[in-house]
Structures are given as C-alpha cells and as structure tokens.
Structure 1
Amino acid sequence: MGAHPWHYFFPYSTDVNSALQALREQEFRTGRFGLATLRTLAYNLGLLETFDEEFSHSEESPEELIEEYGSVQAAIETVLDEYAEDGTNSILDMLEVSVVPKLSAVSPLSESDLLELFGTDKPTKEMVISSLIEEQNPQAWQKFWESIDRGEGRYIIVYRGNQPVEIFFAGYSFD
C-alpha cells in the first residue's frame, strides 16, 4: 500500500516524551488511527464509497477498548498488536523519543538541519507549515521528508519569538 505521512502540532513541554505520550493518548481517544485515518484520506480523494466496500468497520471504539483492557495504555498496545504489520498510520506507532532515528521513535532534527531548512534554529509555526506541509520550499520539504524512513518520526520545537510554544511531530507509517 505504501507509507503514509502524518504530522501533528502539540503544546510545548520540556519533557518531549511526556508530550509524545499525551499526544498518543489524545489521538487514540479521538479514534484518529488505523482505518479511520485511511477512511479520511479516501474521503478527501473522493474514494469513500470504494473504501467502504473494501474494508469492514467492525472496530471497537476507543472507549470500548479502554473499558475492555482496563487502561488507555493497554488499549493502545492492543491496537498496536492488531495493526502490527502495517502500523496505525498515526502517532500511535511512535513509542518513544530517541536521540537518533530508529523504528517506532521520534528523534529531533539537528541544529544544522534546522538552520538548513529554516535559516534559524528557532523555527516558527508559520515556517514549519509553509516549508514542510504546504511545500512552499520544495527543497526543504524534500530534504525533511526524505530523511524519514517508514515507521520513524521526527520532532521540531516550534517558537514564537524566543519562546518554545509547540512541538511539531511528523513521520511515516510502516506501510
């Protein structure tokens, strides 16, 4: 099927792993993972009817999974097991923060990469959106997304002035 990119902005925390885990819980509770993510993509591409014919939607809701397995973490682990081969197409696939790129982890961009992509080591949200989401800087967009392998993620601290305000998480699904 091919890897799918994903990205999120989340309020800044000095503890990036805590922010990652809070984002994972948020996305789990809203059900934005797995087939739901692909269904949204199919809708945006005008392929919803074909998608609905191909895939069954018998998945339990996040609330049902939490109740069944006793905690959010146990429910997320169950979902990860269910989607083990292809991943969830979401931040749920990222289990930890790592100083170097690796599977199922988000890692920071280096200061030199930030300077190359944005001309500063304190990029604003507008810079991140225009370069990495809207592709207004094709070279930056290509360098960033091509540096990420399937099943990996990156994070960037986003600034307003000299104050960190958000964390941008981005990556690719496993398949």
Structure 2
Amino acid sequence: MGASAWDYYVPYREDLGAALEELRHRVFLAGEYYWVGGGDWLPEEERRPRPSSLDELWADEWTQHSGTHSILDVFHVQREDEEPEICAVQSVTAEEARKATGTERLTRDHVPAIRHLARERGYGRCAVLHDDHGTPQEIYFWGWSGD
C-alpha cells in the first residue's frame, strides 16, 4: 500500500501532548483511519468490525504491521532537544520556522512552506499557528505513516 500523508488542525492548547491525545481520541471515535481488518480487499465474510478501543486496535497484528495511515500512528510529542523518534511528533523549532518562512510566528499561510519538514514515514511534526496579531490560534499536526 505505501505510506499515506495525513494532517490535522486543532484549536490551540499550550499543552501540545494533551492536544495530540484529544485529536487521537477524536480520530479514533470518528473511525477516520485505515482499518486493515475491514479492508475492501477482504471478502465480506472475513471483514471484522472496528476495534472498540485504541488498545484493541494496537493489539491487532495487522495494525501493528501496517499502521492506520493517520495520527493514530504517533503516540506522543517529543521535546525539542530529543532525537527524532519513530511514532512520535516533534514541534517545529524556531530555527526551522525562520529558515522555512522567515518568521518564528507561523500562520496557516506558512503551512505549504513547512510541510517538507515531515519527510520520513512514521514521524510526525506539529506547529503552533498564530492569527494576524501573533496570538496562538491552532496547532497543525502532519506526517506520513502506514505501510
């Protein structure tokens, strides 16, 4: 199948980890992810219902192998000083923002200029996006995952 790109905008919260957890919960409950057990490639009688919890989802061997092609494939936000870790999200640093856009205060208009910062499968990025007055308004999460 190959990796899939995903991206999400959520209202700003100072705690990026809590924002990620809320987003993951919303995506799971809405079923907005690839569920290998219910894939169209399976005969109807072999399809399984979607899991009732994230633990049940990740207990599935096929999910462990192929992922969900969504934000569910990343589990936490890393600190800026940590080495990039698979299945994690890193914030765009001030230096990365300046280099890509000329400013540290990113807005939605800057998203096309920072998308390249998530370039490896299994890793996510996030950026706080500001309004025209420099006030944080939302968080943009994006990345590539799945197999």
Q: State the TM bucket, normalised to the shorter chain.
A: 0.7 to 0.9
Residues 4-153 of structure 1 aligned to structure 2 (within 5 Å): 4-35=4-35, 52=40, 54-56=41-43, 58-61=47-50, 65=52, 75-82=53-60, 83-99=63-79, 100=82, 101-128=84-111, 131=112, 141=115, 143-146=116-119, 149-153=120-124
**What CA distance in whole angstroms lies between the structure 1 residues aligned with 2:20 and 2:141?**
8
State the shift of 1:163 in Å: 0.6
Structure with greater helix percent: 1
**SS state at 1:85 partner:** helix
**What CA distance in whole angstroms lies between the structure 2 residues aligned with 1:12 and 1:103?**
24
**Superposed CA RMSD:** 2.2
**What CA distance in whole angstroms lies between the structure 2 residues aligned with 1:165 and 1:59?**
39
Amino acid at match of 1:97: V
- TM-score, normalising length: structure 2: 0.83
Q: Where in structure 2 are there 5+ consecutive unaligned residues?
A: none
- TM-score, normalising length: structure 1: 0.71
Length, aligned pairs only: 138
Structure with greater strand percent: 2
After the TM superposition, list the runs of 4 or more consecutive aligned residues in structure 1 that deviate by more than 3 angstroms.
none
- Percent identity, please: 30
Q: Where in structure 1 are there 5+ consecutive unaligned residues?
A: 40-50, 66-74, 133-139
**What CA distance in whole angstroms lies between the structure 2 residues aligned with 1:56 and 1:94?**
30
